[in-house]
Amino acid sequence: MPRRPGPFSAVSATTSSRESPIVVDVADRPGGLAEVAERLGAAGVNILGALTIGRRPGLAEMAFVVDDVERARTVLAATEIAQG
């Protein structure tokens, strides 16, 4: 069963080490990227780099390099659950 996308949802992370990329589905609309950045910033996660790597209807698949992958995954997963 396909999951219902929220404004953003964590898809995967390549490793659990610090300063590693995490791939995230971001709502493809004005403010979608800002929501991810604000949520991560509020949790103290620093975004070191970002790149759009793909698109699907209504979603932009983005890779973020962050300074704390585990915290980023936790923050984004909590957001997904709250909206699911």
The one-digit pLDDT tens for each residue of the chain (84 residues) are 444 445 555 544 444 445 668 999 999 999 999 999 999 999 999 999 999 999 999 999 999 999 999 999 999 988 753 322
pLDDT for the residue 81: 30
Q: How does DSSP classify residue 79?
A: H
CB 66 within 8 A of CB 48: yes
CATH of 8-83, one of 3.40.50.620, 3.40.50.970, 3.20.20.10, 3.30.70.260: 3.30.70.260
Confirm whether pTM is higher than 0.85.
Answer: no
